Chain A
């Protein structure tokens, strides 16, 4: 067991392309950290650098209190689960689990004990004599996990391990991974581009964009206080509504078109307003409202998903798209006018220049 520390880690490829541009993260012992971001944000590269599969251009990575920059992957005491499982196709499940232990020169009885124990935990004991080819995707995934568990490593590294599974199995395995990690208490670093997976698994999220950390925090913290428009639009589904607004004296309006009424003490001349779809509530009579924000929308489409409906509506002349999350039973007519309002504490403001979060009075939020 050990924590992992990344300090100012950089990766620049031979062609001069910078994949990771100075990332520092402190991972505590036993913590489940999820690296999340769009493709090409450097999250996999970062993970592979921790694993030792990519050289570190600059900075320092330590596992426990040992700097591992120059240490071979096998000697870093980590285990990795790959996206395509990377099981050895010609070996039985048993040998797949045992191979790494054999190479370490661990005694046969000990290997056998560990393999059977892992197989029991993962419920793959019946398949130990099969080859990976004879297993389903979910079972292969378990074997890949088993290969990590038998090593009893200081840390687990997961590289999008669920993205080859179908949706239902993914949800199931997600919960199992979380339970397993809690039970074993092993420090874990998990890479995904799926924000839902990230939210549900993580003790702390690391949102990466363009090789840099955008925000580190607990899932709820990141969701409720996104540090930038990037995080705001990346975390949450449907995404946060973002609209550019400008101030004329005390009066705020959309940069393009009208339909927005906002009371705010924000001191900027312009800003980006962020609204979560579920924070918008539908109002019948706006004159009685105390809410500082009211939007007049025209419904353009409705996506009913059962318990709720996502109402797609447009705002202003440029047809700014706004999504409102409404109760599933309510009926909406396409083309009709819809008034929605939001409470003060639900408004997010971002700087229109940098995209960084602002407090309600226009100060840059302390990072």
Chain B
């Protein structure tokens, strides 16, 4: 029994080390200067250039046009992540509300059509999506980044399942209490869905934050670059005697990791609650 206990821990520790090692390498490398990284490769030790690298990354304008700082990219990523997550939650909640609570013709057909779009991820429909956004003149704008992505079959599905588990009596009690559809949604359904909203928020925020392909297509103006995208830009600069600032790229990677990690840590208890139980 005791021995099994130790083995269990060993396995878990090994797993944890395996997962965290690349992050440590990235962080350690980011504390060295560009030259030593270029000469010696990735680093496992503390290099002492922490504040230099990070302040340079955040405040100095980089990229091809030298117009965008790390802060701007952080802000862009934040807008994309939040807009993406919040937009998806609003749209999918409303869609699920319609599907679950209103009798309209072909309701379940509509649901399955929405559900079937899971088979068509962004990568599959990227050309037509691009065409439309371009045709609407939404290139290089936040709405162009966010709006085309906020329809969510996953979110609609989760909210539908959740709404279906809300007892009918609650709806009936609310009807007798004189709450119409909008009142019921705002006063009762939204507060009840709190944990579910938190869970979806985490998933969608991280998903939105890590978007790469879509921002690459939609934004050509560097002031709209996101962190995930900007990272690559740093390594692309090969002008004259410049060497790639690998340390800065690593620093950006570390920075890019932080907000999702914070979101997950803050919301994790809600996350589990939202997916496994409901407050009823």
CB-defined contacts of A103 to chain B, threshold 8 Å = 177-179, 183
Whether the pair A84, B175 counts as a contact (CB closer than 8 A) is no
Is B1 close to A, CB under 8 A?
no
Whether the pair B177, A82 counts as a contact (CB closer than 8 A) is no
Is B187 close to A, CB under 8 A?
yes
CB-defined contacts of A89 to chain B, threshold 8 Å = 192, 279-280
Shortest CB distance A55–B (Å): 12
Is B217 close to A, CB under 8 A?
no
CB-defined contacts of B167 to chain A, threshold 8 Å = 84, 86
Is A13 close to B, CB under 8 A?
no
Whether the pair A104, B176 counts as a contact (CB closer than 8 A) is no
Contact of A86 among B169, B178, B192 (CB under 8 A): B169
Binding site for A on B (CB under 8 A): 167, 169-170, 172-179, 183, 187-188, 191-192, 194, 279-280
Whether the pair B280, A51 counts as a contact (CB closer than 8 A) is no
Is A111 close to B, CB under 8 A?
no
Whether the pair B169, A88 counts as a contact (CB closer than 8 A) is no
Within the assembled complex, what's the spacing in Å between the Cα atoms of A274 and B179? 51
Is A362 close to B, CB under 8 A?
no
Whether the pair B175, A86 counts as a contact (CB closer than 8 A) is no
CB-defined contacts of A73 to chain B, threshold 8 Å = 172, 175-176
Binding site for B on A (CB under 8 A): 51-53, 72-75, 78-80, 82-91, 99-100, 103-104, 133, 147
Whether the pair A74, B188 counts as a contact (CB closer than 8 A) is no
| A80 (CB) vs chain B CBs: closest residue | B176
Chain B: interface secondary structure? Answer: helix
Residue in B174, B175, B178 with the greatest tally of chain A CB atoms within 10 Å: B178
CB-defined contacts of B174 to chain A, threshold 8 Å = 88
CB-defined contacts of B169 to chain A, threshold 8 Å = 82-86
Whether the pair B191, A74 counts as a contact (CB closer than 8 A) is no
CB-defined contacts of B194 to chain A, threshold 8 Å = 90
Contact of A74 among B170, B178, B187, B279 (CB under 8 A): B178
Whether the pair A72, B175 counts as a contact (CB closer than 8 A) is yes
CB-defined contacts of B177 to chain A, threshold 8 Å = 74, 99-100, 103, 147
CB-defined contacts of B191 to chain A, threshold 8 Å = 90-91
Within the assembled complex, what's the spacing in Å between the Cα atoms of A138 and B178? 26
Whether the pair A79, B176 counts as a contact (CB closer than 8 A) is yes
Shortest CB distance B47–A (Å): 51
Whether the pair A90, B172 counts as a contact (CB closer than 8 A) is no
Within the assembled complex, what's the spacing in Å between the Cα atoms of A25 and B39? 95
Within the assembled complex, what's the spacing in Å between the Cα atoms of A104 and B177? 8
Whether the pair B280, A99 counts as a contact (CB closer than 8 A) is no
Contact of B175 among A74, A83, A99, A104 (CB under 8 A): A74
11 contacts between A and B (CB under 8 A): A52-B175, A53-B175, A74-B176, A74-B178, A78-B176, A84-B167, A86-B173, A88-B170, A88-B173, A89-B280, A103-B178
CB-defined contacts of A78 to chain B, threshold 8 Å = 176
A82 touching B279 in the complex, CB below 8 Å, given contacts A90-B191, A90-B192, A104-B178: no
Within the assembled complex, what's the spacing in Å between the Cα atoms of A154 and B138? 58
Whether the pair B279, A90 counts as a contact (CB closer than 8 A) is yes
